[in-house]
A and B are shown apart, each in its own frame.
Chain A
């Protein structure tokens, strides 16, 4: 298989898989096998391109000419490679987890669930490999639409209401702002290709550059800058595997990935560095980052707390992009990986707690660590990574981002990140404290039985793999940074 074919298969495999899932829908065991097989083969296909990209190759394939001069083109570069690997790799673990979760909670319409999940993954990889802004936009929109049935999965009134928020914000920002920015770019430059050094340099005036920057940043609703972040907490109404893979990894990372792509390849780091617009964006991102953390502290619902934490961490990456130094951009790219592993672990834990004990609130978690030791240990690992402490992966990405800010003499943002670490500790550690150090709640004057009651085995395995991944990343952070370094060399 040539790398060019592999690019097409990376999307073709999950699409074919989705049809197989539909066909085998009546036999759950076969269907789940299909999902797992699809996920594994997708990962292998995506992985097969990796060595080419490491070797400096940029395989590219053009599918069709959508509009005169504008093609649907897929090109793999390191950042997209990384995102593609993470999305497809975590899908394997997530599929394993889903089996336990969906069966454990007797969810309905599971075939529809796996079907749209596969399509969502295909479009996420489409975003990752997109070779120009139009292709990226197309995949971005497909990703929004095919995750809608997953958010509204339960069909309950609150799910429909959340679905409205989800679809409403994501579609209206992308059609209203992002599309306008894309067409404007096309009109000004005559190209939408992702090029090193950007395409806008010298084509538009400084003022227009600033307007375009904000049209893009607020047009990429999936990056969840405040005040258009509300779709993300709303999406938590979905079954937890969706929250874990899509709303902690694929969808939101597609958002910040797009932010990075736009800043690196449309604006160009040098064009943007130190401009007033970029500083304004950095300020907006800082506000989002801190404010979302504070909101997270106040949320008692575990998934809502994690959702706001995600909002905050997405802004880490937007902030890193706005600072626009080589180191901070690489840090932002690394954080896509680090946050993905850390956050999926935490969501897996939240889902496991719900499956095993039907608890959703932080205040109900007293002593849960005694019943679910594996789950809560994994929760600890994920938390440390999110706060940015060694020996977990999150430490390195945060280090790079802060170093980038320091290089640009923007010490204030170093302070923002430090403050944010403290806030993260404030909203995450009390959960662990409750789980391990408080006694189990008394029922009828009797201490509840202390035996281990974990979620179904597939889920526990998935949780452990994700947690181990978070830990292992700490030791491979250097390789990751090297792998990403070509994206900022111009």
Chain B
């Protein structure tokens, strides 16, 4: 019986537990609650994935109000995969969190972290699962507002300005989205995504719809860190508390990319690109992002900022796949949504461990950590290999499909630039590795020991999943392929 209501539980559970955290207040209790919620949500997501794989897309009408009047929840392969990613990363990050939070957020505010985390989780899961354009906006706002708070919890004062900047740009993005949806509503009279998809073709040639597409593209472009409207991202990632960065980097931008996929392929249909070549525009921007942002990453002195710029570049890879408009390309994009979540999650957790021990993530301060924190730095090296795309890691799998997609469509420049991006990744990953392994700890620096077990275990879980899913690709490639075929409209 309960299995029929899983789609609602997926969203409602974190939503109702978030205020409970405020009531509980005690750090330990709120942690346990958040952990339980995360793990149960993860279990729900896995159950949903299994259900979708077995019986096809799940549709659920909230309060039994049929669409298009009521709100519809819809879980297909793509949604299920993203749900698994978000809840999985959440589970790992929250398990990891207590020590790191204790070190970075004042004790009387720790409960705020858990409350806001649960709200962000609600928002992100809601965006993925909902089949209603306006409901999507509501969840977007829930996740955005709570994210601003999460970022501002960072212990440096610069976290405030970073959060404020994100607030301004994020709000602009959300507003653009609503404007776009409003225009679509005006033309079609519906907000249900499936319904929109049916009614849009009749009016697809109108300027209103084309403008709406533009608004939605820019709106979510802002949220996902699309070059050149990514400017909020590096500071937000660098100054947010480490765990927050890990969680957001692995999930928030990915969910925004998911919305792109939904709108372009489910709502508008791949044929839109013939009329309005948004894809070529996105492809060009993404290629520039891959090269310039990787190059900028090389010159960063702060490891978290370095990884943040790398994230902007990596989002570029995802968008490249999506904008090639072939089944393989979209599959590569979806794969990289999942795979990049795993690598960046792992890398930012490494940074959290480093910060926990040396109170800094400046690269220069990481000298000698290869000896002092061998397990942490080994994790960095392995996750770094994944970022570069070395075989047997998930990064290799993504890159493989991305290049096949580029060769299929004869876009040689794309193939070449994707590979060039990997080479730049070698440089920025190695920059950290050399300092950590070859420079000795400076004289007079406080002695550093390995991070505590409670941090090492979840971090290594993510690192090893980078390798596991790099060797056993059945789940990810299979899911991504079938999701992509459904989106692009090729018979699976």
A contacts, CB < 8 Å to B: 64-68, 134, 137-138, 141-142, 145, 152, 155, 160, 164, 167-168, 171-172, 175-176, 179-180, 183-184, 186-187
| Contact status of A187 and B404, CB under 8 A, knowing A64-B471, A66-B473 | yes
Complexed CA–CA distance, A137 and B390 (Å): 10
CB distance from B271 to the nearest CB of A (A): 26
Please determine whether A67 and B419 come into contact, CB atoms closer than 8 angstroms: no
Please determine whether A138 and B391 come into contact, CB atoms closer than 8 angstroms: yes
Please determine whether A175 and B415 come into contact, CB atoms closer than 8 angstroms: no
Which residue in A137, A138, A142, A176 is a CB contact (below 8 Å) of B419?
A: A176
Complexed CA–CA distance, A14 and B400 (Å): 29
Complexed CA–CA distance, A163 and B392 (Å): 23
CB distance from A349 to the nearest CB of B (A): 30
Complexed CA–CA distance, A152 and B426 (Å): 17
Which residues on the B side are within 8 Å of A142 (C-beta)?
391-392
Which residues on the A side are within 8 Å of B391 (C-beta)?
134, 137-138, 141-142
Complexed CA–CA distance, A134 and B399 (Å): 14
Complexed CA–CA distance, A138 and B471 (Å): 11
B403 on the A face (CB < 8 A) = yes
CB distance from A200 to the nearest CB of B (A): 15
| Contact status of A175 and B422, CB under 8 A, knowing A66-B471, A66-B473, A67-B397 | yes
Please determine whether A180 and B419 come into contact, CB atoms closer than 8 angstroms: yes
Please determine whether B408 and A187 come into contact, CB atoms closer than 8 angstroms: yes
CB distance from A272 to the nearest CB of B (A): 22
By secondary structure, the A interface counts as helix
CB distance from A463 to the nearest CB of B (A): 32
Contact with A along B96-113 (1 / 0, CB 8 A): 000000000000000000
Please determine whether A67 and B438 come into contact, CB atoms closer than 8 angstroms: no
Please determine whether A183 and B400 come into contact, CB atoms closer than 8 angstroms: yes
| Contact status of A175 and B389, CB under 8 A, knowing A167-B426, A187-B404, A187-B407 | yes
CB distance from A244 to the nearest CB of B (A): 24
B contacts, CB < 8 Å to A: 385, 388-392, 397, 399-400, 403-404, 407-408, 415-416, 419-420, 422-423, 426, 430, 434, 438, 471-474, 477-478
Complexed CA–CA distance, A171 and B424 (Å): 11
Please determine whether B472 and A64 come into contact, CB atoms closer than 8 angstroms: yes
Using a Cβ cutoff of 8 Å, how many contacts connect chains A and B? 64
Please determine whether B388 and A175 come into contact, CB atoms closer than 8 angstroms: yes
Please determine whether A175 and B419 come into contact, CB atoms closer than 8 angstroms: yes
Complexed CA–CA distance, A187 and B438 (Å): 41
Please determine whether A176 and B473 come into contact, CB atoms closer than 8 angstroms: no
Please determine whether B423 and A67 come into contact, CB atoms closer than 8 angstroms: no
Which residue in B397, B400, B426, B478 is a CB contact (below 8 Å) of A172?
A: B426
Please determine whether A155 and B438 come into contact, CB atoms closer than 8 angstroms: yes
Complexed CA–CA distance, A395 and B273 (Å): 65
Which residues on the B side are within 8 Å of A175 (C-beta)?
388-390, 419, 422-423, 426
Which residues on the B side are within 8 Å of A168 (C-beta)?
426
Which residue in B403, B415, B420, B438 is a CB contact (below 8 Å) of A160?
A: B438
User: Which of A66, A134, A141 has the most CB atoms of chain B within a 10 A radius of its CB?
Assistant: A66
Which residues on the A side are within 8 Å of B473 (C-beta)?
65-68
Q: Can you name the residue of chain B whose Cβ is closest to the Cβ of A177?
A: B419
Which residues on the B side are within 8 Å of A145 (C-beta)?
385, 390
Complexed CA–CA distance, A142 and B420 (Å): 20
Which residues on the B side are within 8 Å of A167 (C-beta)?
426, 430
Which residues on the B side are within 8 Å of A172 (C-beta)?
423, 426
Which residues on the A side are within 8 Å of B478 (C-beta)?
68
Complexed CA–CA distance, A187 and B415 (Å): 13
Which residues on the A side are within 8 Å of B388 (C-beta)?
171, 175
CB distance from A215 to the nearest CB of B (A): 11
Complexed CA–CA distance, A187 and B407 (Å): 8
CB distance from A225 to the nearest CB of B (A): 19
Which residues on the B side are within 8 Å of A160 (C-beta)?
434, 438
Which residues on the A side are within 8 Å of B403 (C-beta)?
179-180, 183
Please determine whether A186 and B419 come into contact, CB atoms closer than 8 angstroms: no
Please determine whether B407 and A68 come into contact, CB atoms closer than 8 angstroms: no
Please determine whether A183 and B422 come into contact, CB atoms closer than 8 angstroms: no
Complexed CA–CA distance, A67 and B402 (Å): 13
CB distance from B167 to the nearest CB of A (A): 39
Q: Could you jot down 12 A-B contacts, CB within 8 Å?
A: A65-B473, A68-B473, A68-B478, A134-B391, A167-B430, A171-B426, A172-B426, A175-B422, A175-B423, A179-B403, A180-B419, A183-B403
Complexed CA–CA distance, A142 and B385 (Å): 11
| Contact status of A183 and B404, CB under 8 A, knowing A66-B473, A172-B423, A176-B420 | yes
CB distance from B477 to the nearest CB of A (A): 6
Please determine whether A176 and B438 come into contact, CB atoms closer than 8 angstroms: no
CB distance from B59 to the nearest CB of A (A): 29
Which residues on the A side are within 8 Å of B415 (C-beta)?
180
Q: Considering the complex of A and B, which 4 residue pairs feature the smallest CB-CB distances, nearest first? A: A138-B391, A172-B423, A183-B403, A176-B419
Complexed CA–CA distance, A172 and B473 (Å): 25
Which residues on the A side are within 8 Å of B389 (C-beta)?
175
User: Which of A141, A155, A160, A183 has the most CB atoms of chain B within a 10 A radius of its CB?
Assistant: A183
Please determine whether A141 and B423 come into contact, CB atoms closer than 8 angstroms: no
Which residues on the B side are within 8 Å of A141 (C-beta)?
390-391
Which residues on the A side are within 8 Å of B430 (C-beta)?
164, 167
With A155-B438, A172-B426, A176-B422 known, 14 other A-B pairs at CB within 8 A are A68-B473, A68-B477, A68-B478, A160-B434, A160-B438, A167-B426, A171-B388, A176-B423, A179-B419, A180-B403, A180-B416, A183-B403, A187-B404, A187-B408
CB distance from A427 to the nearest CB of B (A): 34
Complexed CA–CA distance, A451 and B403 (Å): 64
CB distance from B52 to the nearest CB of A (A): 20
Which residues on the A side are within 8 Å of B426 (C-beta)?
167-168, 171-172, 175
Complexed CA–CA distance, A66 and B419 (Å): 20
Q: Can you name the residue of chain A whose Cβ is closest to the Cβ of B473?
A: A67
Complexed CA–CA distance, A175 and B477 (Å): 21
Complexed CA–CA distance, A134 and B434 (Å): 29
Q: Can you name the residue of chain B whose Cβ is closest to the Cβ of A172?
A: B423
Complexed CA–CA distance, A141 and B389 (Å): 11
Please determine whether A186 and B422 come into contact, CB atoms closer than 8 angstroms: no
CB distance from B88 to the nearest CB of A (A): 22
Complexed CA–CA distance, A331 and B422 (Å): 37
